[in-house]
Amino acid sequence: MAARAWSLNRDIQTKRTAWKALQIHHKKMKEIHLLDLFAHDPVRGERMAAEGAGLYLDYSKNRITYQTLKLLIALAEESGLQGRIDAMFRGERVNITEKRPALHVALRAPKGTSAYVDGRNVVPQVHAVLDRMAHFGERVRTGEWKGYTGKRIRNVVNIGAGGSHLGPLLATQALRHYADPFLTFRFVASVDASAFAEAVRDLDPAETLFIISCKTFNTIDTMSNACTAREWLVSGLKTDKESVAKHLVAVSANVAEATQFGIATGNIFEFWDWVGGRYSLCSAVGLAAMLAIGEKRFGEMLDGFHQMDMHYLATPFQRNLPVLMGLLSIWYNDLFGAQSFAILPYEQYLERLPAYLQQLIMGSNGKHVTLIGTDVIQPTSPVCWGDSGANGQHSFFQLLHQGTRLVPCDFIAFAEPLRSYGRHQEMLMANAFAQTAALAFGKTAEQVKAEGTPDWLVPHRLFAGNRPSNTILAQQLTPESFGKLVALYEHSVHTQAVIWNINPFDQWGVELGQDLATTILPELQCSDDKPLQHDSSTSTLIRRYRSMRRRPEQPCDG
């Protein structure tokens, strides 16, 4: 009973002593400007920084004092954060609605270590799959693995959804500097036929391998695309379904269904129900990344994840990067009412990071009930958005600087470039550092007037400042630093979930629309005049679609 005590806690955030103290403190802080905070503490930029697992976090440009930090850490302690971290790492069933552990940290545990699920050490099992992935990847990369016609594989198409799409997509794009230039990678998630058509439009079926990544192997969108891939291969290779086995592999927890689909058992890479989809990149879901960067680099990525895992598990909260970032997000989301925050990587290879983090953050913490099923009474997940910072400066940064909404920002930058051309890297970093300073300190009316600006134009060129940001700085974008960065956000999300007393590991919110789609699909495919049992809007849309769709009429089943 004691091991599960954390999940039965009926305490809510707003009843905690530290929360009440934070509310009082916020009333004093909400009008204080960052200009004043820096003026009163000349070494603030040095002192309000932390380093862990090789990442440097500057959090000095946040609207906080040392008292704010003290109160936020007290809130984490009162919320039982360390106990919840320990429970997750021990493999307890912290995903209480699905009665499962959330042991993604075991996916990157080194050989010889232990992580237990129901009393069984799963690390050997994890490494057995990693070894199979590495062996398969080497066969593809060297050309030993050949397709039906004897040609070597040049193209890899990953078919998945959610984490089975966004994870390998992010990793292969973020680490493409290290990828095998002989191989081309494409990704299909949407059931929109255009997505599949564009992914394969210039590919030779004889040189193409499909990775079908689906935990259950019955997700309708993924399996529709998988069937289309199989038909495309059969048509292009002018053969039968049984002969395309060299062009299809699967990543799934449902070996029986994958085998039934026609994939050879030896070409099925297992992952487990104690890993959530959006936390699964380090499992066989990352097979495309393994093919792209090879076993050594993939191992370096896993090591980066593991280093951040150990930092989160063992570092005091005052210096714990994921904890600090999670608590700062709570500060702005719940007390300042910030409804969104921006992810701004100043590294073009990370342009897909905001899309990946959208699923991680909003899929995990977009919840309205606590662990015990009561309504939450404070805002939970903010909206996550962003883009490459160098591109965003010329579009949405206008809103960040002069808009009416408070949008905290995370700037991500690297000291060493992957490509070096003249002064490009210094220009990129100058922009990143300048933007954080401009957001924080702005430009006063006096400064604008001193530049010779006419009075009527002054309000338009005024920058209020006091816009908070974090800066995350690493040496270079490598597989190792990439793993650290993703794990940093995973654990920051977990920190926030603990404060809100919600379950970040389930995802029931994606199911209702999918269930309704299953009902509507056959109604769109037929032309009967039988009454539709939907609301008037949905029924009208179905009838209008039928009338507009140019296709042979089919009778409705039963």
> 17-76 pLDDT, tens per residue?
999 999 999 999 999 999 999 999 999 999 999 999 999 999 999 999 999 999 999 999
Q: Please, is 519 exposed, middle or buried when counting C-beta atoms within 10 Å of its C-beta (0-12, 13-18, 19+)?
A: exposed
Bridge pairing between strands 184-188 and 208-213: unpaired
Identify the pLDDT of residue 3: 43
**Per-residue pLDDT for 2 more than 50?**
no
**pLDDT classification of 1: cutoffs 50, 70, 90:** very low
What is the phi-psi region of residue 347: left when phi exceeds 0, alpha when psi lies from -120 to 50, beta otherwise?
Answer: beta
**Per-residue pLDDT for 9 more than 70?**
no
Identify the pLDDT of residue 514: 82
Mean pLDDT score, 283-298 = 98
**pLDDT classification of 531: cutoffs 50, 70, 90:** confident
**Per-residue pLDDT for 553 more than 80?**
no
Rounded CA separation 502/369 (Å): 7
Identify the pLDDT of residue 252: 94
Q: What percent of the chain has pLDDT over 70?
A: 96
Neighbours of 227 (CB within 10 A): 12
**Per-residue pLDDT for 6 more than 70?**
no
Residues 6+ apart with CB under 8 A from 534: 520, 542
In 225-337, the DSSP E strands lie at 248-252, 268-270
Mean pLDDT score, 234-241 = 92
Q: What percent of the chain has pLDDT over 90?
A: 85
Question: End-to-end CA distance of the chain, in Å?
Answer: 51
Q: Which of 217-231, 243-257, 481-495, 515-529 tops mean pLDDT?
A: 481-495
Neighbours of 436 (CB within 10 A): 21
**pLDDT classification of 386: cutoffs 50, 70, 90:** very high
Please indicate whether residue 304 or residue 218 has the higher confidence score (pLDDT): 304
Residue pLDDT, tens place only, 466-491: 999 999 999 999 999 999 999 999 99
Mean pLDDT score, 351-364 = 97
**pLDDT classification of 420: cutoffs 50, 70, 90:** confident
Residues 6+ apart with CB under 8 A from 162: 189, 277, 278, 359, 363, 510
Q: Please, is 26 exposed, middle or buried when counting C-beta atoms within 10 Å of its C-beta (0-12, 13-18, 19+)?
A: middle
Closest CA to 340 of 348, 332, 350: 332
**Can you name the CATH fold of 105-294?**
Rossmann fold (3.40.50)
**Can you name the CATH fold of 2-92+315-504?**
Rossmann fold (3.40.50)
Identify the pLDDT of residue 558: 38
DSSP track, 440-508: HH-B-HHHHHHTT--GGGGGGG-B-----EEEEEES---HHHHHHHHHHHHHHHHHHHHHHT--TT--G
